[in-house]
């Protein structure tokens, strides 16, 4: 009994040491919300949306990846906004956007929200720039609503299964991941983020703090797990073949999250494509070395010949 008591005490101390509570929304908005007007109602959902650049310029919508936020695009948005109307959003349950009103984190729901957002801004046709799962959402949008997409930029897009996984099967989330609702210390987050960079030193303390703060928004960790659990990939090639927009694939050769070899699968499916391969680059080129890919992306989005 004494041994059991000691173990219980040790576990309690460990839990208390690692316990990572939510941060209140007001505190997060003071730090990460640029303007109160950036919190907007889209359908039945509150979304954090940031817009910059000339209103009469061609528009591009930037869609972040899993666990990220619209802030990941900051270095690129500043440059793109000189020539383009740039919109960024936090997907539901990410960044400053509250969890989804109906607990629906499917790509279909994301596309419906994006379509409604574009309608509200009076945009019938835009270019899309998506990273990782944001890339999957972007290319699915381009395949299912080709009349609304001018150009498509895909940064290491998600969509093809890994060996041992089947299409149409919901993702299997390890039970231990459920602990992140209460336990998410900064050092553990660093361990999970560093593989996204070719050079782990590229993960700045500022970016690490932002990721850690925003994952502690009320309901964000539960939403993150729900998005993961609700992911069920479908075979991409039939959809990719429906994409008519000129497409630029941007990929780090040293991407440890979604391997560079996946680029060949997209090249096989998308008719009008080009590839920008980045040496010494991981999964997050817009954070790791923003200037390496940005000139090519800007040229693609602004050139008049359709890419």
Give 285-300 pLDDT, tens digit per residue. Answer: 999 999 999 999 999 9
Check residue 306 and give its pLDDT. 55
What HEC string does 204-271 produce? CHHHHHHHHHHHCCCCHHHHHHHHHHCCCCCCCHHHHCCCCCCEEEEEECCCCCCCHHHHHHHHHHCC
Check residue 7 and give its pLDDT. 40
Give the pLDDT mean for 255-269.
Answer: 96
* Percent share of the chain, pLDDT over 70: 93
Question: To which residue do tokens 């940064």 refer?
Answer: 155
| Mean pLDDT for the chain overall | 92
Q: Are 268 and 168 in contact (CB under 8 A)?
A: no
Check residue 304 and give its pLDDT. 80
What HEC string does 149-191 produce? EEEEEEECCCCCCCCCCCCCCCCCCCHHHHHHHCECCHHHHHH
Q: Kindly list the domain boundaries of the chain, sorted by start residue.
A: 2-160+170-302
pLDDT band at 159 (very low <50, low <70, confident <90, very high): very high
User: Which residue has better confidence, 182 or 162?
Assistant: 182
User: Which residue has better confidence, 7 or 270?
Assistant: 270
Top CATH class, 2-160+170-302: alpha beta
* pLDDT digit string, tens, across residues 181-229: 889 899 999 999 999 999 999 999 999 999 999 999 999 999 999 999 9
* Percent share of the chain, pLDDT over 90: 83
CA-nearest of 70, 115, 77, 74 to 94 is 70
Give the pLDDT mean for 35-44.
Answer: 97
Q: How far apart are the first and last CA of the chain?
A: 72
List the structure tokens of 31: 């730090």
pTM here is 0.92
Give the pLDDT mean for 234-246.
Answer: 96
164 has pLDDT over 80: no
The Cα 133–Cα 159 span in angstroms is 8
The Cα 244–Cα 192 span in angstroms is 36
Check residue 17 and give its pLDDT. 57
pLDDT-wise least confident of 99-113, 223-237, 265-279: 223-237
């Amino acid at each position: 009994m004494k041994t059991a008591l000691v173990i219980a005490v040790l576990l309690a101390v460990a839990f208390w040491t690692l316990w990572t509570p939510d941060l209140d929304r007001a505190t997060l908005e003071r730090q990460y919300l640029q303007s109160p007007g950036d919190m907007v109602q889209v359908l039945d959902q509150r979304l954090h949306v940031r817009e910059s650049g000339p209103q009469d310029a061609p528009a591009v919508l930037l869609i972040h990846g899993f666990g990220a936020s619209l802030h990941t695009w900051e270095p690129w948005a500043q440059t793109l906004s000189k020539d383009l109307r740039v919109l960024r959003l936090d997907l539901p349950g990410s960044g400053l956007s509250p969890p989804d009103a109906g607990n629906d984190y499917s790509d279909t729901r994301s596309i419906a929200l994006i379509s409604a957002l574009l309608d509200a801004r009076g945009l019938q046709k835009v270019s899309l720039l998506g990273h990782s799962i944001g890339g999957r959402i972007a290319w699915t949008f381009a395949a299912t609503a080709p009349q609304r997409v001018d150009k498509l930029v895909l940064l290491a897009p998600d969509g093809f299964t890994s060996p041992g996984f089947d299409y149409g099967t919901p993702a299997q989330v390890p039970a231990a991941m459920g602990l992140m609702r209460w336990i998410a210390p900064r050092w553990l987050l660093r361990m999970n983020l560093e593989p996204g960079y070719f050079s782990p030193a590229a993960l700045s303390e500022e970016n690490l703090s932002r990721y850690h703060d925003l994952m502690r928004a009320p309901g964000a960790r539960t939403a993150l797990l729900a998005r993961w659990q609700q992911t069920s990939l479908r075979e991409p090639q039939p959809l990719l073949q429906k994409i008519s927009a000129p497409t630029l694939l941007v990929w780090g050769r040293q991407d440890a999250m979604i391997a560079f070899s996946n680029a060949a699968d997209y090249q096989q499916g998308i008719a009008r494509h080009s590839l920008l391969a980045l040496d010494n680059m991981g999964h997050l080129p817009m954070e790791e070395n923003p200037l390496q890919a940005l000139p090519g992306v800007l040229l693609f989005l602004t050139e008049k010949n359709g890419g």
